[in-house]
Structure 1
């Protein structure tokens, strides 16, 4: 089953799609990376939706969704996702899957609504200490191109505010967590790559039940470079319910 809807949230509409059917498993909710529409999941959505019901959506101002006048920070986006889930009438619990910046939103959602989230899968997710621990180790050119990318949703300051919000909301979660780390990042030296993988491993500490997968041959977009590794991680988690 596939169903597309436009959901009114305040003074704008968000585009969402439901795939698959609710069986006896939790619903999967997917959060894309910065500036990415829900089309980013095209590589895995058909396989994942065979497992259970799956919700994908475009955040405000992306894809087919209208722009929001609210700040483009994670806390606001989490509020909007909560409203969307309520309106689409999806019942908890959910497994949240977040790629890159979407992992920041997924983590904040899981700490704000712990009774609704039963699992977390983070795909090369942005760590809360990215600005102070990782960025300064990279070349000026890398830092400049990184800063200049913030034109699609939220500016650089709003993105960094989201990382601050992630730090402030950080707590131990009582849910299974899988962290997938890209092992072949573009423009990373061996040292940078090792630092990145180490920071991904640090995210494991937010749960007492966590698993680490190093996608050695994948760039940042693991779900596109190696869909099987992501699909298998999702299957493994969903089979525990």
Structure 2
């Protein structure tokens, strides 16, 4: 255990959310990391030690995952963002924040930035799910892939709630004026050459959510860039920390 690691169970409604704080708050913003669908705080273990040398880092388990207890709120991004906002207040972690979201976690942090733009200093989207994934990308995959994809929604909310979260992103019309690093996996499992090219194009489009966006391709990485190419994620976060 790192000397500066602190664990908390924070009451949010009828739930308790498990959090870990690493490092110490400096002049840099706190880095907040949000994992993918059905995933939890351990998804970030590969990059936390390096990032926490520069600033305070918060990871947490969303309700019903990891060491957090369940909650009665719908499992859509808007509700999750509200729970995170309350969590930050109870931990007295003040803005500005750098938000890092992997996969579905990228949906959550985009909605956070839409609703609380004055609190966000920058974002890193780690192979984040685009809002038009179901309509535009999923039909290009095999029936076996689509079936397996649709059947995964048992760990954290259901498929309808996941789609509702993607629809909530479509309602986000604010052009962000913060640095946004879009990290795209260039070697996705089970993707054909055409599917990979489409994924790359959709990730490139995410750059346009900000006036200051940039795409970084992790050419040899699958979906978990933080595991396959942790240096890519670390460099992106440090660039934001160094550029603020």
- What is the TM-score of this pair, normalised by structure 1? 0.99
- Deviation at residue 169 of structure 1 after TM alignment: 1.9
SS in 2 for 1:204: helix
1:135 to 138, 146, 149: 138
SS at match of 1:52: coil
Q: Quick one: which of 71, 78, 82 aligns to 1:79? A: 82
Q: Which runs of 5+ in 1 are unaligned?
A: none
Corresponding residue number in structure 1 for 2:71 = 68
Per-residue Cα deviation, 1:14-56 (whole angstroms, up to 9, x for no partner)? 0001101111101001000000010000111111111100110
Q: Matches of 2:169 and 2:147 in 1, distance apart?
A: 23
Residue number in structure 2 paired with 1:17: 20
TM-score of the superposition, structure 2-length normalised? 0.98
User: What residue in structure 2 maps to residue 169 of structure 1?
Assistant: 172
Question: Where in structure 1 do 4 or more consecutive aligned residues deviate above 2 Å?
Answer: none
Q: Which residue of 1 aligns with 2:188?
A: 185
Q: What SS does the corresponding residue of 1:223 show, helix, strand or coil?
A: helix
Query: What is the aligned counterpart of 1:222 among 222, 225, 230?
Result: 225
Q: Specify every segment of 5 or more residues in structure 2 that has no aligned partner in the other structure, as ranges.
A: none
Residue of 144, 149, 158 corresponding to 2:147: 144
Counterpart Cα distance in 1 of 2:131 and 2:174: 12
Deviation at 1:170, TM superposition (A): 3.4
| Secondary structure at 2:99 match in 1 | strand
Task: Specify the alignment match of 2:237 in structure 1.
Answer: 234
Give CA deviations for 1:141-167 in whole Å, capped at 9, x if unaligned: 110000011111011110000000011
Give 2:197's match in structure 1, choosing from 178, 194, 199.
194
**Equivalent in 188, 204, 208 of residue 205 of structure 1:** 208
2:53 maps to which residue?
50
In 1, distance between residues paired with 2:177 and 2:236? 18
2:6 to 3, 6, 13: 3
2: CA distance, partners of 1:138 / 1:211: 27
Distance 1:112 1:24 in 2: 24
| Secondary structure in structure 2 of the residue aligned to 1:5 | strand
CA distance in 2, matches of 1:219, 1:51: 27
C-alpha separation in 1, matches of 2:235 and 2:181: 11
Q: What is the number of equivalent residue pairs in this alignment?
A: 241
1:81-120 to 2 correspondences below 5 Å = 81-120=84-123
**1:208 alignment partner, SS class:** strand
